[in-house]
Amino acid sequence: GAGVSQSPSNKVTEKGKDVELRCDPISGHTALYWYRQRLGQGLEFLIYFQGNSAPDKSGLPSDRFSAERTGESVSTLTIQRTQQEDSAVYLCASSLVTQSNQPQHFGDGTRLSIL
């Protein structure tokens, strides 16, 4: 079956441009997460969606970052006026329910490079 799909796999853009990253979760997974992974570092939580509930945005580093998800389908993470410190791999994960014993299934990430 299909796993979590992220696009694009790589994105290179100039400082100051806006970028949009896409995540297709596993069908039927109600929970969706975005993480940022800087080079040589662990995962940094950004935002979490659960069904039609209000998202948990507590991890977003600045107001340049936003994300949307329609129902239990595709999510997009948007970074406005990109800065060099935004360069990282952005990982998306989904899980069946929000129960804590359910593992998260990860996509391969989008590698974002800001010139």
Partner 1 sequence: AQSVTQLGSHVSVSEGALVLLRCNYSSSVPPYLFWYVQYPNQGLQLLLKYTSAATLVKGINGFEAEFKKSETSFHLTKPSAHMSDAAEYFCAVSVFSGSARQLTFGSGTQLTVLP
The secondary element (H helix, E strand) that includes residue 95 is strand 88-95
**Which of 64, 59, 30, 62 is closest to 43 using CA atoms?**
59
Q: Which two tokens stand for residue 58?
A: 């507590």
Q: Between 15 and 98, whose beta carbon lies closer to partner 1?
A: 98
- As beta bridge partners, residue 65 has 79
Out of 67, 88, 91, 112, the only residue in the binding site for partner 1 (CB under 8 A) is: 91
> Contact between 90 and partner 1 (CB under 8 A)?
no
Token pair, residue 12, equals: 């290179």
Q: Which of 113, 103, 114 is nearest to 4 (CA)?
A: 103
Q: Using CB under 8 A, which residues numbered 47 to 76 contact partner 1?
A: 48, 50, 53, 56
x-marked contacts with partner 1 along 9-48 as a string, rule CB under 8 A: ------------------------x-------xxx-x--x
| Contacting residues toward partner 1, per CB under 8 A | 4, 6, 33, 41-43, 45, 48, 50, 53, 56, 91, 93, 98-101, 103-109, 111
